[in-house]
Each structure stands twice: as C-alpha cells, then as structure tokens.
Amino acid sequence: MVVIDSRPEAEIPEFEQYLDRVQQHLGLSAEENLEVVEELRGHLHQQYQELLRQGHPVSHAISDCLEQMGNGDHLANRLTTANRWTQLRARNEWFLFAAICLILGLVMVFQWWPRPRDLTVQFPELGLMEAEPSPSSIITPSDPQQSLRQLESPIGQRIPAGLSLSSFLDRALGQNGLAYRIDHQSLLGQGREAVPPMGAWHHPESRLRTVLDLILNQRELGWELQDGIVMVQSLSHQQRGHSRAHYQVPLSEHEWESLITVIRETVEPDSWEEAGQSGSDRGQILHFGKQIIVKNNLQVHQQLSRLLDRLEVPWKSTGLANQGILSGSGGRQ
Amino acid sequence: MTDRFERDLLRGSLDLMVLSLLAEEPRYGYSLQQKIRESSGDQIQLPAGTLYPLLHKLENEGWIRSSWDESTGRKRKWYELTKSGRKRLASQAAQWNRYVGAIRGLLEGVVPPPPKTSRYRFPMTGESRDGGY
C-alpha cells in the first residue's frame, strides 16, 4: 500500500525538531543558516515522499531520512566548517592584500623620506663637503687663525707611503680639521697630470706644516694658506708669484745685517737677486729701521717666518698676514 | 579491510564524482544523490550528511555555483559547474586516470585484466562510461 503524506513540508515535527537542532549549531550568518536549513528541509521531504511512494511506512520513512542526514550536531559542524574555510581564506586574502599595501606604503615612505645625502663626507669643523667630484676640489672657508694653530700642532699620526696626493692630504689635513684645495691648474700647467705617490711620515709629534713642507717638496709641490684653506700647488707655479711683506723685528743695527745674511744664505739662496742687481724677477730684501721688506714667493715667506721662529726673536709681519695668506707661528701680528 | 578500502576510495573520489555529474547538467542535492546511487548500481549510497557539506565546500572553492529555483513548484537549490570547476575536473580526471593506469600496471599478471569496454569506471561499480576526459 502506498501512503501519501500531504502535510506541508514544515509540518513534520520530527524533521523540524532535527532542523532546529542543526540551525542552533550552525556557525554561519542568520541568512546563511536559513538557507542551509531550507535546503536540508527540501531534501528530507523529497526523500520522505520517495520512500512513501516505495511503500515504506511513515515512521520508517521519517527515521530513514533522518538516519541519512546523520547526527544533527555533526552535520551542522561540517557545514559550518565547509563554509568557514572559505571565509577564512577570504580573510587571508584580505590580510595578504593589506600586507602588500603596507609594504608598498613603507617602500614609498622610505623612498621619499628626507635622508642625508649619500655623497657627503663629514669633516670636523668644516661642515659637510661633497664627496663628488672630489673632497679636495670643493672647500668650505675656514677660520684662518684656527687653521694656523692647526698647522703648528703635531700631525698626530703616522702616514704610510704610497698614498695619492688627495689621500695624503685627507689624512694629514682633513683628520686635523683643516680644509685643503689642490690647484690642479698649476699641476697641468707644469705638465703633470698625475702626482707620484706620496712618501711616508713616521713621526706623529712633528708639526703639521713641517710635514707638509717636506713631503710636498719631495714631489715638487708647495702649499700656502689662503683664507684658512691650505692651497696645494706646483712648486714652480708657487715660486713665480712674488709677494711683498714687512717684517718688524726689534734688533740692533749689526744684528740686522747678520739676519739678512742668514736669510739670503738659508732661505732659498738662489731666489734672491745679487747685491746691486735690480729690476730682475728675483727676490729682494730691503732694510728700513726696525723692519725689512721682503719681496719673494710665498714659499720663501713661509720659510722666513719659520726661520724667525727658530731664532726665537719676537717678530711681526704685515701685508701677507693681513690677507690671511701667511703668518708666523711666533709672529705677533 | 575491504570496507575500509572502499571508504578510502570513496572519500578520495567524492569531488571527482560530484564534479563529473554536474558537468553533465545542473542538479540539486537530492537528484545528485539519486544519480550517484543509480549510476553505481546501488553500490554507492552517498548520505545527505556527507553530500551537503561536500557541495558547500565545492561551492566555496569556486568550482560549482548554486541558485535557488521555484519554477517546479518546490523551492530547490541547484548546483552547476563553473569554468574553474571544469578545469579542476579535467585535472582531477587526468590524475585519476594516471593513478588507475599505474595500479592496473601493477596488477597485470596478478589478477585478470578488466573488460575492454571499461574506459572509465566509477569506483566500486561495474558501470562503464565511454568518452572519458
């Protein structure tokens, strides 16, 4: 006998009780829960009607349908897991998207963030100097008095042989807080495109200016102080330019003659014109009262000031010192 | 042991089974369940408690999509294969065939060869489906 159950789908209490339990254990949104329950309800009723058509008793049909569905709690959990897995994946995709945006944002921030210029070298007391094209080519004006004091100070280090000119100057001057400039024009004018490697210096206690004199002279180079900056030139170029300076020294008359003789015979002897010779382009020494007027190149002026220092006589110069070009260590300007 | 082996085979081929049936035409849950049963000569009874979580998983993977329809007078949720689902089906079918071929090679000489007409078989059924993938 075939039994036809004409009750509406929602009126089979066993099914509704089962579906209520499933719904209670579903962990989805309210709308999703209702959809899932509606789908299961449709399945249960269709199977139920099919079993009745096959001649199953109502009670058996209901129990068979519920048995096929299995434990309501477990079914709810499996349905929740099946849907949540994708929800989690969607969340992970959002998380991945947010992480990529964050990384891109950080890259852009760092790209545009103000930062110290890459090509700068910090020298003490000199401020920032561009490393390109060369630290020796771009200089910052320095305090002439401070530079003079530095030149009279010990070099404070040993310098190995074989350094390039600029490396030597970086170590000898840069590390002592002195700016320098290489007059490349003077080197080119002398036909010297490259200066041979510099010699070594092994005495940290030596005065900086002494080291400069000896090491640079080995390579036919000279130096002078201009506006507190050590200008390195070719020796011949430096010697061509004569400057005039007054040296006031409190000496007696016969002491003056001795001093002039010592100067002529010890400071670049070949650079002075002979007595009675005038109008040449060689150096001159004129004596007036308590001072001498010396006309010669800067190298000679520098050596002269050092000579006066060594003689331990009080002296004072005008002319070059006022221009910030030269000053004696013992000079009382 | 045999029951467990069959359960493992069934578990491993459920996706392929559902995707291949939906490749034929859209179906709702109950009809899918009946089709599996019929196609397997009543050898495969896929419980509703297993079928619906599987359908929801495949839908959330993006391999099938669903839509509600009441045109037949009964509200039903129909499932159909998506484009990515077809790719997935082709991929899984190729893997399955490779696996079956490998196992068949192992069994040659040990057990009698399968009937020549069986190009593609549901697991645990004698029904053959020509055409394959």
Q: What is the pLDDT of residues B28-39, one digit of tens each?
A: 999 999 999 898
Q: Is residue A139 classed as helix, strand or coil in its secondary structure?
A: coil
Whole-angstrom CA distances from A246 to A212, A258, A300, A315, A319 are: 25, 18, 13, 10, 6
Among residues B62, B64, B66, the alpha carbon closest in space to that of B21 is found at B64
Q: Is residue A150 classed as helix, strand or coil in its secondary structure?
A: helix
Instruction: Tell me the mean pLDDT in the region B76-104.
Output: 93
Task: Determine contact: A68 vs chain B, CB below 8 A.
Answer: yes
Cβ contacts (< 8 Å) between B48 and chain A: which residues?
40, 43-44, 47, 68-70
Give the pLDDT score at B117.
Answer: 46
Nearest to A86 among B29, B30, B60 (CB): B60
Cβ contacts (< 8 Å) between B77 and chain A: which residues?
35, 38-39, 42
Give the pLDDT score at A153.
Answer: 86
Asked if B125 contacts B36 with a C-beta cutoff of 8 angstroms, the reply is: no
Give the pLDDT score at A55.
Answer: 92
Give the pLDDT score at B55.
Answer: 95
Selected residue with higher pLDDT from A217 and B69: B69
Q: What pLDDT, in 10s, does the model give residues B2-14?
A: 578 877 888 888 9
Nearest to A39 among B49, B61, B77 (CB): B77
Give the pLDDT score at A128.
Answer: 39
Task: Determine contact: B30 vs chain A, CB below 8 A.
Answer: yes
Q: How far is CA B29 from the centre of its chain?
A: 13
Pairing of strands A180-182, A229-234: parallel
- The token pair at A149 is 């004091």
Among residues A257, A332, A256, A268, the alpha carbon closest in space to that of A301 is found at A268
**Residues A147, A152, A157, A160, CA torsion sign:** positive
What's the CA gap between A151 and A138, in Å, rounded?
A: 20
In chain B, the residue whose alpha carbon lies closest to the alpha carbon of A35 is: B77
CB contacts under 8 A, A 314-333 vs B, are: none
Among residues B132, B95, B124, the alpha carbon closest in space to that of B36 is found at B124
Task: Determine contact: B77 vs chain A, CB below 8 A.
Answer: yes
Task: Determine contact: A47 vs chain B, CB below 8 A.
Answer: yes
Cβ contacts (< 8 Å) between A78 and chain B: which residues?
49, 53
Among residues B20, B125, B129, the alpha carbon closest in space to that of B81 is found at B20
**Helix or strand (DSSP H, E) at A326:** none
- How many beta carbons lie within 10 A of that of residue A178, not counting itself? 25
CB contact under 8 A, A78 and B29: no
Distance from CA of A96 to the nearest CA of B (A): 18
In chain B, the residue whose alpha carbon lies closest to the alpha carbon of A68 is: B47
To test the contact with chain B by mutation, choose from A43, A50, A69 the residue with the greatest count of B C-beta atoms within 10 A, namely A43
CB contact under 8 A, A42 and B75: yes
Give me the residues of chain A with pLDDT under 50, please: 116-138, 279, 321-325, 327-333
Nearest to A68 among B48, B53, B60 (CB): B48
Half-sphere exposure of B63 (CA within 13 A, CB side): 22
What's the CA gap between A150 and A160, in Å, rounded?
A: 21
- The token pair at A186 is 């003077």
Q: What pLDDT, in 10s, does the model give residues A209-266?
A: 888 888 888 887 888 777 778 888 777 766 666 777 888 888 877 788 888 888 888 8
- Percentage of chain B with pLDDT > 70? 83
Distance from CA of A41 to the nearest CA of B (A): 10
Task: Determine contact: B65 vs chain A, CB below 8 A.
Answer: no
Asked if A328 contacts A245 with a C-beta cutoff of 8 angstroms, the reply is: no
CB contact under 8 A, A82 and B47: no
Cβ contacts (< 8 Å) between A70 and chain B: which residues?
47-50
Give the pLDDT score at A191.
Answer: 61
A204 in the Ramachandran plot: left (φ > 0), alpha (ψ -120 to 50) or beta? alpha
State in Å, rounded, how far the first CA of chain A is from the last one: 136
